[in-house]
Amino acid sequence: MLEGTRPVSFAIVAILVIATLVWFVTRPHPLFAAGDSGLTPGDAERGRLVFAASGCASCHASPGQPDRLKLGGDLALASPYGSFRVPNISPDPQAGIGSWSVADLANALIAGVSPSGQHYYPVFPYASYTGMTFDDVRDLYAYLHTLRPVAERPQPHDIDPMFRIRRFVGFWKLLFFHEGRPEGNAIGDPMHDRGTYLVEALGHCAECHSSRNIFGAIKPKTRFAGGVSSEGVGFNPNITPEGIGSWSEQEIAEMLRSGRTPDHGYVGWSMADVVENTSELPESDRIAMARYLKSLPPRPTPRP
């Protein structure tokens, strides 16, 4: 009889150990404890520029109406995992994030963790926003609170049942998420370093201009070298010098202001919407972004 029970009890112990490990490695890591009041709101006018540079309206503005500051959400984001619905981030206390603290917003943007301690899906580009400074989060918070509350509630995500368990995002984070550590290095030139921050963290430009692996994470060798759009239609171009090496710094900055390209065309698709955001920034920020793009290593365009 002993011979029979030993393998069974071993299996139970093994399952418990594995379950404990899975539970442990996938746990969310908020930066601040719930209700932490250590962070105070910052400057709303500066926050307006953080909001523009980060392109929050591109996803969170209510679709089908012209007001980009009506942040009711509900835009459907198609993906290989199903359709995600963007939440309401207006200051409405029920439908939006009006009751959040600054710490809650910092946890969402920098750690990808919700106030109730759950992981967010990385379609919310926190893998880039994780490089955001606390001062920028504080300013952004102050700005968001100057906007109009919207009481509408977006529809729930319509995704594959397998991906509904948020805890599993913990595995993804373990493999692909570097909390608080943005890509790109500072080199001591203020213009270049500002550009690094704007392109890598706030502008999250790599989220569109790269190819992704089967887990939906950016393949490092294709960063900025282009990739199929997340909806699976069209190819987002290579913006390393391999793709736009012939554009001058001034020409890149001009495109980010007006959408006009050096060959006398205009960018379209989702990039036209990005330009709605970058056109709001001071010219020095557009030059900074251009300088950083020109400093990138040329990378071959991946095959779609």
**Count of residues interacting with ligand HEC (CB under 6 A):** 46
How far is C-alpha 184 from the geometric centre of its chain's CA atoms?
16
- From 102, 106, 108, 111, residue interacting with ligand HEC (rule: CB under 6 A): 108
Stretch 160-179 residues interacting with ligand HEC (CB under 6 A) = none
The answer to whether residue 121 forms part of the interface with ligand HEC (CB under 6 A) is: yes
- Least Å from the CB of residue 287 to ligand HEC: 12
| Of the candidates 51, 47, 33, 65, the residue with the CA atom closest to the CA atom of residue 276 | 51
Kindly write out the interface string for residues 57-76 of this chain, putting x where it contacts ligand HEC by CB under 6 A and - elsewhere.
-xxx----------------
- Least Å from the CB of residue 19 to ligand HEC: 24
DSSP string of 82-114?
EEEEPPP-SS-TTTSSTT--HHHHHIIIII-B-
- Least Å from the CB of residue 25 to ligand HEC: 19
Q: Are 198 and 288 in contact (CB under 8 A)?
A: yes
The answer to whether residue 225 forms part of the interface with ligand HEC (CB under 6 A) is: no
The answer to whether residue 54 forms part of the interface with ligand HEC (CB under 6 A) is: yes
Contact segment (CB under 6 A) with ligand HEC among 2-10, 121-129, 145-153, 186-194 equals: 121-129
- From 28, 125, 131, 184, residue interacting with ligand HEC (rule: CB under 6 A): 125
Q: Are 223 and 242 in contact (CB under 8 A)?
A: no
- Least Å from the CB of residue 9 to ligand HEC: 39
Side chain identity at 153, as an amino acid letter?
Answer: R
Q: Are 163 and 172 in contact (CB under 8 A)?
A: no
Neighbouring C-beta atoms of residue 89, cutoff 10 Å = 24
Q: What is the DSSP letter of 301?
A: P
- Least Å from the CB of residue 95 to ligand HEC: 9
Closer of 48 and 60 to ligand HEC (Cβ) = 60
The answer to whether residue 143 forms part of the interface with ligand HEC (CB under 6 A) is: no
| Of the candidates 295, 300, 107, 121, the residue with the CA atom closest to the CA atom of residue 200 | 295
DSSP string of 240-300?
SHHHHTTS-HHHHHHHHHH-B-TTS-B--HHHHHHHHHHTTS-HHHHHHHHHHHHHSPP-P
Q: Which alpha helices (H) appear in 179-248, and where do they start and end? A: 190-196, 241-244
The answer to whether residue 52 forms part of the interface with ligand HEC (CB under 6 A) is: no
What are the residues binding ligand HEC (CB under 6 A)? 54-56, 58-60, 77, 84, 86-87, 89, 97, 105, 108, 114, 120-121, 123-125, 129, 140, 199, 203-205, 207-209, 236-237, 239, 243-244, 252, 255, 261, 267-271, 274, 278, 289, 293
